[in-house]
Amino acid sequence: MDAIELSLFVSRLTAICDDMGAVLRRASLSPNIKDRMDFSCAIFDAHGELCAQAAHIPVHLGSMAYAMADIVSRFEWEPGDVVILNDPFLGGTHLPDITLVAPVFSEGALLGFAANRAHHASIGASAPGSMPLSTRLEEEGIVIAPARLVAAGERVTAMVNRLGAIEPGVPEGTLPGDFEAQLSAVTLGVQRLSVMVGQQGRAPFSEGLGAMNDYAARLAAKALEGFPDGQWHFTDSMDSDGAGATDIAIQGTLTIDSGRWHLSFDGTSEQVEGNINCPLSVTAAAAYYSLRCLLPAQIPDCAGAFSVLSLSAPEGSLVNARGPAAVAAGNVETSSRIVDVCLGILAQVIPERIPAASQGTMNNLAIGSRAAGNEWHYYETIGGGGGGHAAGSGLNGVHTHMTNTRNTPIESLELHYPMRLWSYRLRRGSGGQGRNRGGDGVVRDYEFLAPAEVTLLTERRRRGPWGVAGGEAGAAGENLFNGEPLTGKARLLVEAGDRLSIASPGGGGWGRKDPVQ
């Protein structure tokens, strides 16, 4: 392929991922997917290597890229198959994230896969919203090892009924609406990729994948060639696991040797009783994301772009937990801290290119009721401050790093659930001081209009996000219930009229503040 042909090839693959995302969003029913856009879409080759992805959720995409090879090797694939999974230790992240994978054939030959992953607020957990304050995986919902949802074009009745049972009011033999949306999206991906292969031919398509990966690997090597050989360390910690452990260390060591990068997590704390444990696929997602931030925007998001990086983590550690450890918050909170560790390492090497720590949490809020005849589930993440950097101040009130969702609009929240949002504003002054300030967090004040159960899984409540190059830390987050402070991880039974306020952390500052200012 010449440069123009390769560019068109990459753009067509990416466009298929974008189209899958558009279908998934427009066909879904829950605010979690249609409003917050908590989903991701990607294409893989016949061996499970990443070919293309839309600019969706980093923790979804990196974990799929890491785990797909193992997933696809488990099956004898046939046209019309769709495999479903959420087991964190068999290719998933945490149980609410449901993945669908469908094969693409041409003239009887397996050429690749279309896949999507979406977060479901109801997955049969021990608490509404399916993000409980758990200590065992079984408390977090139904566990789906990779299995067929559709076999050769026919839906598998037992799996359909199993999925239908997790959502109230779904008739037997019927899939909940968000699963139908995922099926529609992955079906579109298969159709569009089949058309592309049919137009180009099997051999040219395979050659195009090889050319794309070679180009991405060359571009990545070129972008990283100025980094010196050496070894750098950084340690950060989690506030708590929600089950009594505090200050849980994550230690990273980056070794660069002749253009090869290896990231080791030796020295990280052992896995804990609470649910902040990470399967290795989630740790890989955070590492891949951190590397991707150093690469040029035009590099194809394929396996070749990440071939320069390898990683290792002690089995049984917080970042490579053994099943059946609880992992609900590992995917959202610990992944955020792993990014902080990766960027903390890189800030020692190239401080002029690395921002201060952003809020370092997704501020997970799960709410709902399991009252007979009035069951509902709600989940959202809340933005905060971005880290300041050499080129300017951090952004205010945004989702940072491993999440890329939107907020739930106030109108949607109040339309669907018995809640009122009294205030949603920037938390002025919460960004860390520096030559370039950290971004401010937000304050989100809720009033409950009916009894409900609430789970909070939040971080950076004990220490604020760190600064870089002499910048100051951002303000730590704060949770209040009826005006009284809450811990970062809490479960509440609320009544009508109760109030909950979440103040998210500000980002760290960059550079020492000029004393004249």
Does an H or E element contain 190, and which? Answer: helix 177-200
Query: Among 182, 217, 252, where does a domain finish?
Result: 217
The answer to whether residue 434 sits within a structural domain is yes
The answer to whether residue 116 sits within a structural domain is yes
Q: Which residue has the tokens 């040219």?
A: 204
Q: What is the pLDDT of residue 243?
A: 97
Contacts of 415 (CB under 8 A, 6+ apart): none
Segment 256-269, tens digit of pLDDT:
999 999 999 999 99
Query: Among 217, 234, 251, where does a domain finish?
Result: 217
Segment 268-297, tens digit of pLDDT:
999 999 999 999 999 999 999 999 999 998
The answer to whether residue 359 sits within a structural domain is yes
CA atoms within 13 Å, Cβ hemisphere of 405: 28
Question: 315: pLDDT confidence band, cut at 50, 70 and 90?
Answer: very high
The answer to whether residue 400 sits within a structural domain is yes
Taking the CB of residue 141, how many other CB atoms lie within 10 A of it? 24
CA distance 187 to 99: 13
Q: Which residue has the tokens 């609900």?
A: 328
Determine how β-strand 82-85 pairs with β-strand 50-53.
unpaired
Could you list the beta-strand ranges (E) of 384-437. Answer: 419-427
CA distance 512 to 416: 46
* Distances in whole angstroms, Cα of residue 64 to Cα of each of 170, 182, 236, 514: 29, 16, 25, 45
CA-closest candidate to residue 254, choices 266, 242, 271: 266
Q: Which phi and psi (to 5°) does residue 25 adopt? A: -65, -45
CA distance 394 to 478: 20
Does an H or E element contain 62, and which? Answer: helix 58-72
In SS3 terms, 424-482 reads as EEEECCCCCCCCECCCCEEEEEEEECCCEEEEEECCCCCCCCCCECCCCCCCCCEEEEC
Segment 330-373, tens digit of pLDDT:
999 999 999 999 999 999 999 999 999 999 999 999 999 988 88
SS3 of 211, please?
A: helix
Average pLDDT over residues 12-17: 96
CA distance 471 to 501: 28
Contacts of 7 (CB under 8 A, 6+ apart): none
The answer to whether residue 223 sits within a structural domain is no
Q: What is the pLDDT of residue 169?
A: 81
Q: What's CA 379's distance to the chain center, in Å?
A: 14
Does an H or E element contain 311, and which? Answer: strand 309-312
Q: What is the pLDDT of residue 221?
A: 94
Q: What is the pLDDT of residue 31?
A: 87
Question: 91: pLDDT confidence band, cut at 50, 70 and 90?
Answer: confident
Question: 42: pLDDT confidence band, cut at 50, 70 and 90?
Answer: very high
Which pTM does this prediction carry?
0.94
The answer to whether residue 383 sits within a structural domain is yes
Q: Which two tokens stand for residue 266?
A: 């030796």
CA distance 119 to 132: 15
Average pLDDT over residues 5-26: 95
- pLDDT above 90 covers a percentage of the chain that reads 87
CA-closest candidate to residue 386, choices 471, 509, 472: 509
Query: Among 196, 217, 238, where does a domain finish?
Result: 217
Is it the case that residue 46 has pLDDT exceeding 70?
yes
Q: What is the pLDDT of residue 516?
A: 52
CA distance 502 to 444: 5
Q: What is the pLDDT of residue 513?
A: 84
Q: What's CA 199's distance to the chain center, in Å?
A: 34
CA-closest candidate to residue 387, choices 472, 460, 297: 472
CA distance 155 to 81: 9
The answer to whether residue 236 sits within a structural domain is no
What's the structural domain count of the chain?
2
CA-closest candidate to residue 126, choices 138, 114, 112: 138
The answer to whether residue 231 sits within a structural domain is no
Q: Which residue has the tokens 């891949």?
A: 288
CA distance 20 to 52: 12
Q: What is the pLDDT of residue 59?
A: 72
Average pLDDT over residues 245-251: 98
Q: Domain range spanning residue 196?
A: 3-217
